[in-house]
Structures are given as C-alpha cells and as structure tokens.
Structure 1
Amino acid sequence: MCGISGIFDTRERRPVDEALLSRMNQSLHHRGPDDGGLHCEPGVGLAHRRLSIIDLSGGHQPLFNEDHTVVVVYNGEIYNFQDLARELTDSGHVFRTHSDTEVIVHAWEEWGDRCVERFRGMFAFALWDRNRETLFLARDRLGIKPLHYALLPDGHLLFGSEIKALLVDDSLSREMDPRAVEDYFAYGYIPDPRSIFKSVRKLPPGHMLTLKRGQRCLPEPREYWDVSFRSNGVRDADEAAGQLIERLREAVRIRLVAEVPLGAFLSGGVDSSAVVAMMAGLSDRPVNTCSISFGDPAFNESAFAEQVARRYATDHYVDAVDPDDFDLIERLAGIYDEPYADSSAMPTYRVCELARKRVTVCLSGDGGDESFAGYRRYRWHLYEEQLRGPIPQWFRGPVFGLLGALYPKADWAPKVLRAKSTLQALALDSLEGYCESVSILGSQVRKDLFSPRLERELQGYRAVEVIRHHAERAPEHPLSRVQYLDMKTYLAGDILTKVDRASMAHGLEVRVPILDHMFLDWVSGLSPDLKLSGREGKWIFKKALEPHLGRETLYRPKMGFAVPLASWFRGPLRERVRQLLLGASLMDTGFFDEKRVRWILDQHQSGMRDFSPAIWSLMMFAAFHKRTLA
C-alpha cells in the first residue's frame, strides 16, 4: 500500500510549490514508510509514499514510461499485472521493472482511459500525460482505496489518499458542509462524493476523472463499472456451491503474491474463516493468522477463531485488548480526518496493530455480508416489504405513523416488545424505511438534535436523498436492491474506509478477496433466494463452506466487532463525555441544540434510554472538530 498526493495547475504552467508538495507527501508517511518520491514540472507535482510489497528493489515512484512523457503515482495492487505486462510486451512496450505500477503507464499508452477496465485489483492512482496535457485520476471498482481532491480558487487542483494531505495547504477552505453533517448523523460516515468540507470531494468507487489544462470548470467524474446483478444462469444450489468455492479460491490465490510476510485476520466469523480455509488449501506452509480477544464474552469471538486455527494448523496469534481503550478515541479523529462514528474502528485499529507485528500484508473477509445478504436488516426489510406491498401508502402513512408515535420507546424492554421503530418504518415508503433501518440516528432524533441554524442551512435536504440517488439504478428485487444500496454507500463509506485508515495507520496492506470484482459480479447474479433462505442469511455461502468449516462456525449467531459503549458512557466515561459534548468546541459550531444534547446525556446516564449511538456520534464529531478545526 501507499499514499499519493499531488498538485495540478488547471489554468497555466505555473511553478509548483515543491515545499508544499513535500509536506503533503510527508503527511502520508504512515501509508508508505519504506520510500518516498516527488516529481515536479511546470504546472504539475506528483508525490508518493511507498510500502514495498512487490519488486522491492524496483518500483520506485513516481514511475515513468520510456521517454518520460507519462508518469504515475499509485496506491494499491493490480493482481493481473503479469498477464497485462505480457500482453503489453507483445504489443511493443518495454518494461524496466517487475512491478505492477509500470503496467499502468503502458496500459494508458495502449488503451487510454479504458485501461482501468483491464485492471483487476484495488487501486487509486494519478497519471500525468505531458503530450496530452492530461491528468487522469481513477479509483477501483468497490472503493477499497481512497482518493480525495479539491479545486482551489486560484485554479490549482489538490489530490491525496487522505484529506490530511489536502489540509496541509492553508488556502484550502475549512468550511463544513451542512449536508455532510446531516449525512454523518444519519449514516455514521459521510458517503461519497461528499466530504465534511465543502471544498473537498471523494472520487466515487468505479469512477475516473480526466482533467485537461485550460478547462474552464472542473468536469464531473465518469463511471466505468457498476455491479450488475444480472443473472449468471446458475439455479441449482449444488452447482452454485461448487462454482462459488472455485471462484473464491481463485480470488484468494491471486492475492497471495507478495515478497513480504503475509497473513490473514481471523475473527472466527464465517467470512474471515472462509478466506483462511482457502489460503490453507493453497499454501504448503502454515498460514499466519491473528485475532484479538475482549474480556466481555458478549464481544469475544476469539474462541471461535481458535477452532478454525486448530483445524487448519495456522500459525495463530491472539492478543487481549483492553476493553476500556479510551485513549484511542482522540487518536481516531486524526486517522479519519472527518467525523466517523463506527465504534468498531477501535478494535479494527488494534487488530491491524497486532497483525503488523508479524506480517506486512493481511487478507480479510470484508464484503461477505453485503455480497451474500448476511445482515439481519435485510431479513427485516423483506418482512416490511411484504407488509407494505398490499397496503397502500395513503393508508399506511397516517395509520402506522400514529401507532408508531403512540407506542412507547422501550429500550429497557425485551426486543419482542420494542415495536416502535417497526411501526414507524411501515409508515414510510421502501427507501425511507430502509434509510431509517441503517441510520444510527433516526430522522426525528436528528431534527431534534440540530439547531435552527443548521436546519436553515440544510434547506430541506435529508440524508435519504443519498439512497434515492443510488436507487435509480438499483435492481428491482427488494433484496438485491438493498444489497446494491449498501454496496454503493455503507461498504465504501464505512467498512472499507475503516479498514483502509486503520491498516494504513500501521503501514499494513489489507487485501479483500470477497470483493474481487469478478467474483462479486458472479455472486450478484445468483438468485436472491440462494443468499437469504428463510431466516438464514449467506445460505449458499455457508452451504458451499460446509466441507471446509464446522457448523459451529457457519451457523452460530453473528456477533460483530463491537465495543460496550452504553456502559462506558454511564461509567468510566461519564464525566469526560459530558465535558466534551457540552464544551465550547462542539457548541461553538452552532449546529446543535444544547438543551437537547444535555437531555440525551441525562436520559442515557440515568438508564432510562439507550442513546449510546447518538453520544458516540457526537463524541467523534467533537473530537474531529477539536483536532482539525478548533
């Protein structure tokens, strides 16, 4: 893995501020501690930090073609680079290294911007073609690797793997985007292409951006790939299971190429266990695996990880993590550069820290829930859709809306008695209902929390518009539809962002075989009833893995990577959270109603309500603001 950054003069060929470019590059040192490089010419500056994985002695970046007219800085891995190099060599291109980076410059020469369609892997890169006076930016299909950019008033474009590289330039506006604030408190992250700053954009997954010097305005990114959900023609469950294993094994196999120590995360869940099982079958040496354990059995999966490790005789390493890891809270704000409220970022950070002690590359099981319909919310969404179908909206809206308003909010009661959110969801249309189900704070909670000033600045905007935008291209089947929506939002904005920042903070490369785009496209084409069968999510995935993993691994209840927030905020963090949320830094933003924030704290700390998601979201927003803007 690596970190990239750069400066492009969209208007003229003014000299690049090399000192600024160097500082931008240094801000990403953690992403590439092994090497660094700069290239400057009139109007263009490219910078790179390298974590050496392949061709350790070569592959220095920025990397040029033969006559130095094309140069690239790149973050990622292209797993089919050897096949592409042979094809390009046959077409007359001359290679000087054995790195996947050099494939990019020759592929650009041969195929232009369609080169990205030939790459199989994870990547974000910036390529400068002097002859065409063109800067080309691209991001991989699923958004495993990040890329941010901003156009300054003077016509200079900044870009970087992380927002912190752009913030090095003091002339970049720090004004926050009210819509990003609304999105954050709905989803817990800020979906692309928006960022917390009005001035900064994220290049969406599967998109490219072509900039030519002299353009009067910044062009819109263009999409080059989307998951299809077209039927692959496989209906028989046994045939599907057999093909699934072969395709997964191949996706894992191509990710085992490395000239540095390689291993895998092993949580004990289905997805990471599946990846380890495939790795073990492809290697004649024990697989390096690692996991972390918690003191609280409700959050501890380490015993299940041990079972898989024993079955495959892996070289397994477990480390106990302090369940009260409070010191990490402040550090997370500096890692993510914008508000980010997934509390599993804390154990993810620690497991990456553990893995880096033994390996430089780790395979993970991320993407399994989105690909195979593993989230419980998918099942509940289908139940709700079955009820919505026969009842017209004109009746559902007022009737279920009234019932939801009257039903008490009983966080303290058994789950079977907590019907308020279900009744409220049934009053909404399908997309609004799904938005509420994935929101960490519901629309009414956000409305009560926000100040009149923020409500005015939102001008009626609501976070559901993110989902409505993607739904225009989503499949018709209700299960495939919400899987698609999650792939376009939650997967890139939350899951992959979390893993990228946590791993790169330690100079660790994480590879994600379940999100191989060829494998994912095939999986998307399986019939929905093979993914969610009755109450069993990931049905075909689990059936295919039965010869490889025990039933206790495949069919036990899902646990997740959680931390005990509710008890933290009533106990050891009680006073700290009150000081942070009611302090000047957060309230000076003018975005929040102080009385409501105080009421949320009082209700939670008295035990009357569980407002831990709201408190955590506010804490991470406050930590971001204090570190970045205060």
Structure 2
Amino acid sequence: MCGVAGYVSNNIVPTDRLYKCLKQMRLRGPDDNGLYENRDASVKVGLVHTRLSILDLDPRSAQPFHFQHYVFSYNGEIYNYLELRAELEDLGYSFRTNGDTEVMAIAWAAWGKDALNKFDGMWAIAVWDAKAEQLTLATDPFGEKPIYYIVGPDNSVFFGSQIDCALTLANIKARPNWQHLKRYLVNGYKSIHKTDDSYVEHVRRLPGNKVMEVSTRGINISPYWKVPDYRPDRTQKRADLVASVRETLISSVAKRMRADVPLAFCMSGGIDSNSIIAIASQHLGMDVCGFTIMNKDGRYDEQKLVDLSSRELDVQNEKIVLQTTNFLPALEAMIKNRHGPVSTISYYTQNFLHKAISDRGYKVAISGTGADELFTGYYDHHLLYLGTNFEEPLTRAHALENWEKYTKPQTRNPLLQDPDKYLRTPGAREHVYYKNTYYADFLRDAWHEPFVETIYCGSLMRNRMLNELFHEAVPVILAEDDKNAMAYSIENRSPFLSRELLEMSMTIPDAELIKDGYAKSILREAMAGLVPDQILYERRKIGFNSSLFEVADIKSDHLRQVILDDSPFYDVVDRGKVEEFLGRDLSLNSDSKFLFNLINAKITVDFMEA
C-alpha cells in the first residue's frame, strides 16, 4: 500500500505542487518516495509515489517504476504475482526484483489493460504511456484502493489517493459539496457511494472496476470486468458446494498472507473474521495476533466469544477499550484527513483499532469485509430469503418457522418485521434509507433523492446483495478502512473480496444460503473443524459496531456548543430543529446515529469554509 498522485495537462504544473503531494501522502508511504515529470512533451505529465514497503523491501522496487515506454505509480498488492511472474517468464520476460510491482508493470506491457483481468488483488494504478501520450488510471474490481480526481480546463486531469492531492495539483480550495452532504444527512451512509461524488466540489471518485483513459482524444471511463451472473448449479450436492467454498476461501486467504512484514488481524466474535483467523492459524500454521474493540454496550459486547476464539485457536488477542475523552479533537482530525465526514460511529472507533495495530509494530491488517454480501448476513436477507421461490412449499414453511423463532426477536428495525414483505412488495427498500423523510425536515429547503438500485440479475436476494457489495455497504467500509489504516501507515486486506470467491458464490442456489435460521449457513459448514463451534453457531449478529454513548459525552455543554455555534452549516440546516433535537431522548439507535452525522457534517463545513 502506498500513495499515488499526478496530473496530465497541456499546461505545466509547478514542480513544488508535486513535492507538496509527497508531503501530504507521507503517512501512506513513509518508507520511500519518488517523482516523475515530463514538461517537454506536447502533453505535460507528472507522477508521484510514496511507498509503504510490504513486498520486496529493497529500493529496486521503488516507484515511479519505469519499463519500456511506460511509467507506473501503483498503490496496492497483486496477490497472485508469483503465478503471473511464472507465466510471464514462460513468455520470455526476465525480472530484476522479487516483488509485485515489476510483475504488474511487465504484465501491462505484455497484455495492456487486459492484464487487469489476470490480477487477483487490490490496486489503484496510474500508467503513463510516453509513446501514445496517454495516462491510464485503473481501480481494482471492488474499489479497495481509492483514486480521486478533478477534470480541469482542456481535459486536464489531476488525481491522487487523497482528495487533498487532487486539490493541490489543480490549485483549488476545498468547498463543501452540499448535494453530497445532504445525501449523507438525509439518506445515510448507504447512499454516499451511489454516485461518484465526494464531499468536495469538483472532486470525483473513480469507482472500482474502472479504467480511465486520458489523451488528446479526450477522457474515457469504462469497466473492464463483468460482474458474474447468478447461475445456480442445482446439480451439485450441498456437500460439494460447502467443499468448494472452503477450498476457494482458503486459497484466497493464503494468497493474501503474502508479505515480507508482520500481519495483524481485526478480530470480532463473529464468523467472518474468525474464518480468516482460523485458516491462517490452523490451516496455514501462522502466528496470529487479533485486535478487538471492546464494547460496554451489551448489544455489541463480544468479549466472551473473542476470549473463547483466542483460547481455542491459540492466537494472541489485543483489546482496545473505548473512551469518551477527546472525542471532538479526534473526530476533527479524522474529518480534516478525509475532507469529509466519518461515515458511521463504527469507523470512528476503528481508527483506534488501527492505531493500536500500528503501535504494536504491524504494517498489514486483515479484515472480514465482504462475507455478508457474498453469503448473506443482514436481517433483510432473511426476509428476502423468505421471498425466494422455493421448490417445495414445506421448505418455506420451515424457513418461516425458523425466522419467527430465531431472527425476528433480534431484529430491531420496525420495517423488517413482516415475513411476507417481499412476497407482497418485491421492490420495498424503505428500510435502506430508514427515516429519511424525518431527517429531510432538518434542512431549510425541501430535498429528496429517491432510492435507486442497479439490476444485476433476476434473483431478488442476490441482486440486493450485489448492490450492497458494489454500491451501498462494502464501498463505504473500504473507503473508511483505507483512510483509517493509512493514517497509521497500515495496509488493509480483505480476503473475502476475491473475484474467484464471488464467482463461486454466484453458483450457490438461493435456497442453500440460509438454513435452520442461520445466515451464512454454507460458510459456517465450510469452516467446520477450523472455527470453534460456539462461534460457528452463534445467532447474534454483532461485528465491528459501537455506540455513540461509548465514545462521546453527548450531554456535555461543550459538545452542545460546538454543534450549535454559528456556522455556514446553518444556512442549509435548520438550527432551531437541531437545538430541539438535542433536547430529546436520543437513546434510539437511529437518533444517536443521526446526531453523529450532524456533528460530522457541521465540522466538515466549518473546516472547509474556514
């Protein structure tokens, strides 16, 4: 993991702006840095790179990396670089390094952008082709590594791993993007990656699975990979499906353990993180250290399960206890780093998890992101499952009985209480933007943005899961993971985000995903013998969640004053309604989350308008 930035323009960009980008990205790459510019050609170009050394720590892998007539600045990891290296050697190419950067570069020279469909990994790649005078930017399939960009006059493009780098190169000041801030305040975090907007005017985000080509012919953005169709293989026995999931996940985890530095693991009491930890410790024989956020809130407390896992898997565990002190200073620093709000309370607390990982000397953090979206896991998935066309009526009757017994008692959202919801109204999605009409009333002027959903396939449940994977849940997690981890010079990896694993999961019939009231039933069976039974068959869904009350004293006069102080924020938001809101009982989960969003949005505006 590293930092990349650069530009392509008909006009010369002062070199001092490139050096400023190196300073802005120093935490993304504290181990080395480099700069390339060509100011003599008809098209001017500059690339910068800051390096966090993970593979082949030798300076020979430093960037920007030159091969033939290409110059590369690359952030990420190509996990299958050893296999690709062997393939390229068979084609006659030779190598002078031992890492993945040179493999990426030679693969690009050999196959062009078709190389992207050979890579198993995460990346944000900038390629300057000096012969064609073309800049290409490319993101990985799931959008794990960020690229922000600004399009200037004459199709100039200024880009970076961080928003501040794009602003620096374009020489413009950050101004709040009110459309996106309203989206965050009213529709919530699941809406913020439905578009390519950022919280800063003129700054766009290049989504996952995109190639952006910039030349004298113009700018073209297109996908390079087709999301797999849902093609259930009903000829396979359940035991074969389970075996395929186990084999594919173990392969993905093994490749994502490739590193020349120590790895740490984000550890909850759930099956997602424990599947990865169990594979690493029990199957791959690695020494594992897991890091856990400890919650006093009973809804999120996982200490017993974490302790059990640590003991039975024989792994170390570091616990981070949350505090209410320094809430505002810490939040303000995170907002300035992001040029925008922290998406949820959980990602405010995750910041301290990464700090602890860094303090213990680790440079890579492994998480379980993506398992819910591949194998089910959210409460609405159970209702979508009940809306599935079961081949046998008795199967649905049994599923309904299990939902009533096990799932309904844990489901707090009042919009997810009807087991026939999706039989009657397949398009019902009001729970995704929960209470958005109420939150819209806090704005001075009427604002509404309807819910939209991309159609990927005919399965109601799979289509919902793919929207969560590519537009709603996972992109938010990945963006927050990247910002929190990079603030402490840590690379984050997500073994469930594998194209091979997604493609395999799309062959599993919907009816097989939930069994006996258990979401992720296929994954649970696949991990039998590795993950402790008590975790495999724990019905509570917790994950990395936190309560605002554990990290902030929301009754403090100082916090109230910061929220209500005069600000351009109240040119758009009704101050009187916010003041009235603060006087209410905010113990409802939805209200405390909205309060967190209000605080974030106001600090964001105050920071940009200062």
Q: CA deviation at 1:486?
A: 0.3
Q: How does 1:193-212 map to 2 (within 5 A)?
A: 193-212=196-215
1:406 aligned partner: none
1:558 and 2:541 matched: yes
Q: CA deviation at 1:484?
A: 0.9
1:597 and 2:600 matched: no
Deviations 1:351-385 (A, max 9, x none): 11112223212221111111111111222455589
Q: How does 1:156-167 map to 2 (within 5 A)?
A: 156-167=156-167
Q: CA deviation at 1:153?
A: 2.9
2:381 aligned partner: 378
Shift of the 137–420 alpha-carbon distance from structure 1 to 2, 3 Å rule, reads: closer
Is contact 2:6-2:169 (8 Å) kept? Answer: no
Q: Measure, in 2, the Cα distance between the counterparts of 1:429 and 1:489.
A: 25
1:447 aligned partner: 440
1:290 and 2:272 matched: no
Is contact 1:294-1:323 (8 Å) kept? Answer: no
Q: CA deviation at 1:133?
A: 0.9
Q: Measure, in 1, the Cα distance between the counterparts of 2:496 and 2:234.
A: 20
Q: How does 1:439-588 map to 2 (within 5 A)?
A: 439=433, 441-452=434-445, 455=446, 462-465=449-452, 467=453, 470-471=454-455, 474-533=456-515, 535-556=517-538, 557-565=540-548, 571-585=553-567, 587-588=569-570
Deviations 1:285-333 (A, max 9, x none): 4223222323444433233122112212123333433255614222221
1:279 aligned partner: 280
Q: CA deviation at 1:438?
A: 2.2
Shift of the 608–210 alpha-carbon distance from structure 1 to 2, 3 Å rule, reads: closer
- Partner of 2:61, secondary structure, is coil
Shift of the 554–328 alpha-carbon distance from structure 1 to 2, 3 Å rule, reads: farther
2:394 aligned partner: none
Q: CA deviation at 1:429?
A: 9.5
2:351 aligned partner: 349
Shift of the 515–171 alpha-carbon distance from structure 1 to 2, 3 Å rule, reads: same
Q: CA deviation at 1:94?
A: 3.4
1:310 and 2:311 matched: yes
Q: Measure, in 2, the Cα distance between the counterparts of 1:508 and 1:248.
A: 23
Q: CA deviation at 1:573?
A: 4.3
2:598 aligned partner: 618
1:627 and 2:610 matched: no
Is contact 1:475-1:484 (8 Å) kept? Answer: no
1:81 aligned partner: 81
Query: Aligned residue pairs: how many?
Result: 579
Shift of the 161–609 alpha-carbon distance from structure 1 to 2, 3 Å rule, reads: closer
- Partner of 1:437, secondary structure, is coil
Which deviates further from its counterpart, 543-552 or 321-330? 321-330
Shift of the 534–594 alpha-carbon distance from structure 1 to 2, 3 Å rule, reads: farther
Shift of the 243–422 alpha-carbon distance from structure 1 to 2, 3 Å rule, reads: closer
Q: How does 1:348-367 map to 2 (within 5 A)?
A: 348-356=350-358, 357-367=360-370
Is contact 1:16-1:40 (8 Å) kept? Answer: no
Deviations 1:67-88 (A, max 9, x none): 4x20101110001112222222
Shift of the 238–129 alpha-carbon distance from structure 1 to 2, 3 Å rule, reads: same
TM normalised by structure 1 equals: 0.85
Gaps in structure 1 of 5+ consecutive residues: 387-413
Deviations 1:581-613 (A, max 9, x none): 32222534x2212232223222335x6996212
Letter of the structure 1 residue corresponding to residue 501 of structure 2:
F
Is contact 2:4-2:49 (8 Å) kept? Answer: yes
2:402 aligned partner: none
Is contact 1:182-1:462 (8 Å) kept? Answer: no
Letter of the structure 1 residue corresponding to residue 483 of structure 2:
R
Is contact 2:2-2:76 (8 Å) kept? Answer: yes
Q: Measure, in 1, the Cα distance between the counterparts of 2:559 and 2:296.
A: 23
Q: Measure, in 2, the Cα distance between the counterparts of 1:504 and 1:373.
A: 29
- Partner of 2:56, secondary structure, is coil
Q: Measure, in 1, the Cα distance between the counterparts of 2:299 and 2:597.
A: 22
Letter of the structure 2 residue corresponding to residue 5 of structure 1:
A
Q: Measure, in 1, the Cα distance between the counterparts of 2:493 and 2:551.
A: 33
Q: How does 1:182-261 map to 2 (within 5 A)?
A: 182-185=182-185, 186-188=187-189, 190-191=192-193, 192-212=195-215, 214-215=216-217, 217-232=218-233, 235-261=236-262
TM normalised by structure 2 equals: 0.88
Deviations 1:143-189 (A, max 9, x none): 11111111123643111112122232473364444432343221326
1:172 and 2:154 matched: no
Q: CA deviation at 1:572?
A: 4.5
Q: Measure, in 2, the Cα distance between the counterparts of 1:623 and 1:139.
A: 30
Q: Measure, in 2, the Cα distance between the counterparts of 1:125 and 1:586.
A: 38
Q: Measure, in 2, the Cα distance between the counterparts of 1:252 and 1:464.
A: 35
Q: Measure, in 2, the Cα distance between the counterparts of 1:431 and 1:602.
A: 39
Percent identity of equivalent pairs:
25
Shift of the 88–265 alpha-carbon distance from structure 1 to 2, 3 Å rule, reads: same
1:433 aligned partner: 428
Deviations 1:439-488 (A, max 9, x none): 2x533123312222xx3xx6xx61413x2xx23xx221111111011012
Is contact 1:341-1:616 (8 Å) kept? Answer: no
Q: Measure, in 1, the Cα distance between the counterparts of 2:545 and 2:490.
A: 22
Letter of the structure 1 residue corresponding to residue 531 of structure 2:
L
Is contact 1:8-1:156 (8 Å) kept? Answer: yes
Is contact 2:116-2:224 (8 Å) kept? Answer: no
Shift of the 285–115 alpha-carbon distance from structure 1 to 2, 3 Å rule, reads: closer
Is contact 1:206-1:226 (8 Å) kept? Answer: no
Q: How does 1:1-80 map to 2 (within 5 A)?
A: 1-9=1-9, 12=10, 14-42=11-39, 43-57=44-58, 58-65=60-67, 67=68, 69-80=69-80
Deviations 1:83-103 (A, max 9, x none): 222222332333222221112
Q: Measure, in 1, the Cα distance between the counterparts of 2:84 and 2:70.
A: 18
Q: Measure, in 2, the Cα distance between the counterparts of 1:552 and 1:502.
A: 31
Letter of the structure 1 residue corresponding to residue 503 of structure 2:
D
Q: Measure, in 2, the Cα distance between the counterparts of 1:537 and 1:20.
A: 50
Q: CA deviation at 1:272?
A: 0.6
Is contact 1:32-1:49 (8 Å) kept? Answer: yes
Q: CA deviation at 1:36?
A: 0.7
Is contact 2:174-2:608 (8 Å) kept? Answer: no
- Partner of 1:341, secondary structure, is coil
Coordinate RMSD, CA, aligned: 2.8
Q: Measure, in 2, the Cα distance between the counterparts of 1:609 and 1:595.
A: 22
Letter of the structure 1 residue corresponding to residue 533 of structure 2:
R
